[in-house]
Structures are given as C-alpha cells and as structure tokens.
Structure 1
Amino acid sequence: MDSLTQVVLGAAVGEAVLGKKVGNKAMLWGAIAGTIPDLDVAARFLTDTITATEMHRGFSHSIVFSVLMAPILGWLVHQIKKRPDVGWQGWAKLFFWGLFTHPLLDAFTTWGTQLFWPFDVRLAFNSIFVIDPLYTVPFLTCLVIAAFKKKGTLSRKRINNLGIYLSTGYLVITLFLKWGAYSKITAELEQQNIAYSGISMRPAPLNTILWNANVDAGENYLIGDYSFFDSQPVTFTPFPKNREASQELAATDAVQRLSKISKGWYILEKENDQWVYNDLRFGLISIDPQKPQFVFRYILEEKNGTITATEDRPKMENTDAIFATLWKRMMGN
C-alpha cells in the first residue's frame, strides 16, 4: 500500500499496543515501524533494475524480518526513552506488530509480499489497489480523533480500535467483491464461448467497483474490465503474446527473471526496433486513447552480451483526463 496508509496502520497498531502507557509517542513509533519495510526501495540505487524488482517486498516484508528486527529496535528505543514500565520487551512488541502488519496489508495488493521468505512464495490476494481512499480515509479519521483524546481513556481506545475494525472489515469485503467480479468474468467467457487456461484479476485504481481481468486464451491475452454498475456484456480486447517472434529473447536470463516476477503474465513487443517487456499484472493506462500503454514495462537492451532492463513508467501528463475516463468506466458501460 502507499506510504500514508502504512503510516496510519503502524500508528494505530502502536496505539493499540502501548498507547495506554506512552500516549501519542506510541503512534509515532508505530508509524516509524510501519514505514521501515518499504526502505527496501533503496535497492534501486544500489543494484540493477531486475534485481531491485526481485528484492522489492522480499526479506523486509517477511515474518523473519519482523522477528529479527523487533527486539533490536525495541532495545534501541528503550535506550533512548528509558521507560522501566515499558522495558525493551514492550517496545519490541510494538515494533513486531508494526513491522508485521505492514506486509500483511501488502499481501492484499497485486504485487504481494514474500511473507514466508526464504521460501519462494509471493502472497498476493489482488483485492485492493495500492491507494484506496475507502480503506485509508476512515482509518486516518479515527486515528486523528484518537490522538486528541486523553491517554489511557476508554474513548481513545474505542476510536482507535474502530479504525482498525473498519479497515480490516473493508479488506474482507474486497475479497468478496473480487469473487463477485471473477464470477461475472467467467460467466461472460462461457457465454461468449471463449476458451481460456487462466485468469488474473485485480481492482482498477482507487476503487473496488471496477475490476480488470487478464485472460490467457492461447496465442493471445484477452484484457477486459467489469464494473458492478455495468449493464452491457464485458468486452475483451486481444493482445498477441508474440511468443514465436520473441522466442530467442524470452529464453534469456533477464526475461526469465522478469517472467517469474510477473508470474508469466507478460508480452514482449518491438517498438521502433526496441524490445519492450510489458508486465500485464497492473493493467493498462489510457494516456493515449488510441494506444493504451501497460503501466509496468521495461525497455530491454543488449550491453556486452547481456540483456539489461530499464523501467519505463508512463508519463502522467494528462491526469485529469485519465481520472475522468476511470470515473466514467466505473459508473458502468
């Protein structure tokens, strides 16, 4: 999830663990704990693009990391604060839950987390976008109100807990919404007599009303979307896989590693004599209505006999039009 959401979650967890004893400082240290796992983004400046992508939401988002770091951070804070009524164990407990709830929340997103590192399993429920106001705003509101309540009062505890209950309840609801959208997509595929071997679904940006679907239909990927306000059948747009044309490139170590990251959902295409790797998991963005672009894509270049990848993010120059298109599609076809 986005940084603000993780700060709010960490602060609320800190309050739940130590708020009664240390007040708003528990929120502060909880917010810090909730931010720490995302420091793995520093890998972008220390290594190549593919390695940094592999490391993202890896070790720092695991149970092992939470267990190892919590007592260390707890001891360090204890040396600073010197609170005998809390002790290093109390601070360690705060840090453990702040560190651990971060990857738990991220597991609901499309990227997922390697919660069980070193086992090569990435947990991704694909039920919430990385920024979702319905999750964050009520949670943040409860946290701010709780922060102005007197330390240790029942009203402060109840309001903070309400934020945790609302946010957790919303996460559960997203799973049911995904199931509903998935059922609709599979029904549409059957109605349209489309044979397929796999489906990947995720919510569109900023909401859980509109859902995007990738469908593996042999030589093509079909991409469609469904809104709970739709009244017309789902339209599936084919995108050729280009597996034969890109066979030699697809066999390289770089593309094999990218394919593992994207769980096989990718398209290699040539643009102006330049090979581009498109990661389908995060869908399309309609910057140019005539030619939508995949959100995550990498420019592939050969240097000294080795394929290197450079991330090529879309240029967000016309965000008003993008959000207008998203809103219109959310409201139904």
Structure 2
Amino acid sequence: MDSLTQIVLGAAVGEAVLGKKVGNKAMFYGAIAGTIPDLDIVANLLTDAITAIEIHRGFTHSIFFSVVFAPIFGWLVSNIEKKSGLSWKHWSWLFFWALITHPILDGFTTWGTQFFWPFEYRVALKTIFVIDPLYTFPFLLFLILTMFQKRTSPKRRFYNRLGLTVSSSYLLITLILKGITYAKFEEALQEQQIAYNQLQTKPAPLNTVLWYANVETEDAFLIGDYSLFDSKPITFHSFPKNHHLLGDWIQNPNVKRLIKITENGWFTISKKKDQLYFNDLRFGLLNNNPKNPEFAFTYLLYEKEGIIYAKETEKNRGDAQKLLGDLWERVKGN
C-alpha cells in the first residue's frame, strides 16, 4: 500500500500495543515502524531495474525480517526512551506488530509480498489497489480522534479499535467482492464461448467497485472490466502475446528473471522502431485505447556488451490524468 496508509496502520498498531502506557509516542514509533519495510525502494538507486523489482517487497516484507529486526529496533528505542520506564521487550513487541502488519496488508494487493522469504513464493490476494481512499481515510479519521484523547481515556482505545475494526472489515469485504466479480468474468467467458487457460482478477485503481480481468488464451491475453453497477455484457479486448519476438533472448537469464516476476508468463512483447518492449500485464493499462495500449509497467529491452538489460519506460502523465476521468465514468456502470 501507499506510504500514508502504512503510516496510519503502523501508528494504530503502535497505539494498540503501548498507547495506554506512553500515549502518542506509541503512535509515533508505530508510524516509523510502518514505513521501514518500504525502505527497500533504495534498491532503485543502487542496482539495475530487474534486481530492484525482485528486491521490492522481498526480504523487508517477510516474517523473518519482523522477527529479527523488531528486537533490534526495540533495543534502540528503549535506550532513547529510558524515561518511559518500559523495557526493550515492550518496544520490541510494538515494532514486531507494526512491522508484520505492513506486509500482511501488502499481501492483499496485486504486487503482493514475499512474506515467507527466503522461500520464493509471493502472497498476492489482489483484492485492493495500492491506493484506496475507502480504506485509508476512515482509518485516518479514527486515528486523529484517538490522538486527541487523554492517554488513559476509554475513548482513546475505543476510537483506535474502531479504526482497526473498520479497516479490517473493509479488507474482508474486498475478498467477497473479488469472489462475486470473479464469478461474473467466468460467466461472461462461458457465454461468449471463449476458451482460456487462466483467469486473474484485480480491482481498478482507487476503488473496489470496478474490477479488471486478465485472461490467458493460446496466443493472446484478454483484458476485460466489470463494475458492480454494470447492466451490459462484459467486453474483452485482445492483446497478442508476441513472445516469439524475443527470439533467442527468451533463454537469456535476465529475460527469464523478468518473466518469473510476472508470475511466470503474464506479459506481452511489443516492437516499436526495431526496439522490443516487455509489458507486465499484472497492473493493466494506463489508457483505454486497445489499438495503442500503454501498460502501467513497460520495460525497454536492450543489449549492451552481451548482457540484456531492462529499463522502465517513462509514463505519459496526460494519459494517466485522462484515465482517472475515464475511470470515474466507468465505475458508475455501462
């Protein structure tokens, strides 16, 4: 999830663990803990694009990281906050829960997390977009109300628990919505007599009313959308795989790593001006133009001194802004 959401979650968890003992300091350190796992983005500055993608939501988003580093951070804070009278065990407990809930939440997103690192298995339930106001803003409101209550006030615990309950309930609702929409896509494929190998669904940006489906067929991928307010049949747009364009590069170690990142095959290849582009289908399109699609994540493949590299292409901000307008209209139904 986005940084604000993780800060709010970390702060609320910190409050739940130690708020009664240290007040807003529990929120403060919980918020810090909630942001620590995402420091893996530093890899973007230190390494190549493929390695940075592999590192993101990996080690720092694992159970292992939470267990090992919570006592370390707890010890550091116990030395800073000696006047609090709390031991390193108290602070370690706060850091553990604030750290572990970060990847648990991220596990509901499309990107997912390597929660069981070093095992190469990514938990990705794909039920919530990385930015979802309906999850974050009510949660933030209850956190603010909590913040202005006295440390020993029953209202403080009530507001914080309410925020945690409402946000957690919303996550459960997204699981139900995913089940409902998945069935709708299956029904549409059956009615349109479309033979397919795999079907994946995920929510559209900023909401859980509009959902997207990626459908794998023999030679192409289909992308469709469905709003809970729709009254017309689902339409699927076809995008050829074009995996053959990779030629011998498909056996290249770096290209194999990219393919693995896309959950072993959810990608297309496009060719423009004799240059090959690797399109990651998991995150959909930035525009609604099937004839000239712009995917959310596209990488230029190029060879240098016998090594294949990948460089993420720059996004067209104009298309992204138009997408938000189109998205709002589409959410309202067809």
Give the match for residue 204 of structure 1: 204
Give the match's secondary structure for 1:300: strand
Give the match for residue 36 of structure 1: 36
Within a 5 Å distance, the mapping from 1:45-84 to structure 2 comes to 45-83=45-83
Give the match for residue 214 of structure 2: 214
Give the match for residue 122 of structure 1: 122
How far apart are residue 318 of structure 1 and its match? Answer: 5.2
Question: Per-residue displacement from partner, 1:230-266 (whole Å, max 9, x unpaired)?
Answer: 1111111111111223232222111110111111100
How far apart are residue 290 of structure 1 and its match? Answer: 5.5
How far apart are residue 153 of structure 1 and its match? Answer: 1.2
Query: Which stretch of structure 1 is more off in the superposition, 36-45 or 286-295?
Result: 286-295
Give the match's secondary structure for 2:119: coil
Distance, in Å, in 1 between the alignment partners of 2:49 and 2:209 is: 33
Give the match for residue 330 of structure 2: 329
Residue 294 of structure 2 aligns with an amino acid whose one-letter code is Q
Query: Which stretch of structure 1 is more off in the superposition, 129-138 or 282-291?
Result: 282-291
Q: 1:175 to 1:203 in 2, by over 3 A?
A: same
Distance, in Å, in 2 between the alignment partners of 1:222 and 1:318 is: 21
Give the match's secondary structure for 1:245: helix
Q: Report the TM-score, using the length of structure 1 for normalisation.
A: 0.98
Residue 60 of structure 2 aligns with an amino acid whose one-letter code is S
Query: Which stretch of structure 1 is more off in the superposition, 4-13 or 281-290?
Result: 281-290
Residue 144 of structure 2 aligns with an amino acid whose one-letter code is V
Distance, in Å, in 2 between the alignment partners of 1:123 and 1:304 is: 36
Q: 1:289 to 1:260 in 2, by over 3 A?
A: closer
How far apart are residue 319 of structure 1 and its match? Answer: 4.7
Runs of 4+ in 1 over 3 A off after TM superposition: 287-290
Distance, in Å, in 2 between the alignment partners of 1:48 and 1:299 is: 13
Give the match for residue 165 of structure 1: 165
Work out whether residues 223 and 236 of structure 2, in 8 Å CA contact, stay in contact via their aligned partners in 1: yes
Q: 1:313 to 1:186 in 2, by over 3 A?
A: farther
Q: Percent identity?
A: 55
How far apart are residue 102 of structure 1 and its match? Answer: 0.2
Within a 5 Å distance, the mapping from 1:96-245 to structure 2 comes to 96-245=96-245
Residue 267 of structure 2 aligns with an amino acid whose one-letter code is Y
How far apart are residue 321 of structure 1 and its match? Answer: 2.5
Work out whether residues 286 and 319 of structure 2, in 8 Å CA contact, stay in contact via their aligned partners in 1: no
Work out whether residues 287 and 320 of structure 2, in 8 Å CA contact, stay in contact via their aligned partners in 1: no
Query: Which stretch of structure 1 is more off in the superposition, 106-115 or 251-260?
Result: 251-260
Residue 31 of structure 2 aligns with an amino acid whose one-letter code is A
Distance, in Å, in 1 between the alignment partners of 2:164 and 2:84 is: 28
How far apart are residue 292 of structure 1 and its match? Answer: 2.7
Q: 1:318 to 1:241 in 2, by over 3 A?
A: closer
Residues 1:269 and 2:253 aligned together = no
Give the match for residue 94 of structure 2: 94
How far apart are residue 312 of structure 1 and its match? Answer: 1.3
Work out whether residues 287 and 316 of structure 1, in 8 Å CA contact, stay in contact via their aligned partners in 2: no
Give the match's secondary structure for 1:109: coil
Q: Report the TM-score, using the length of structure 2 for normalisation.
A: 0.97
Question: Per-residue displacement from partner, 1:204-228 (whole Å, max 9, x unpaired)?
Answer: 0000011011100110111111111
Distance, in Å, in 2 between the alignment partners of 1:235 and 1:155 is: 50
Give the match's secondary structure for 1:244: helix
Residue 180 of structure 1 aligns with an amino acid whose one-letter code is I
How far apart are residue 316 of structure 1 and its match? Answer: 1.3
Work out whether residues 287 and 319 of structure 2, in 8 Å CA contact, stay in contact via their aligned partners in 1: no
CA RMSD, 1 decimal: 1.2
Q: Any gaps of 5 or more consecutive residues in structure 2? A: none
Distance, in Å, in 2 between the alignment partners of 1:219 and 1:26 is: 54
Distance, in Å, in 1 between the alignment partners of 2:83 and 2:148 is: 23
Question: Per-residue displacement from partner, 1:297-324 (whole Å, max 9, x unpaired)?
Answer: 1011100011000111422135542211
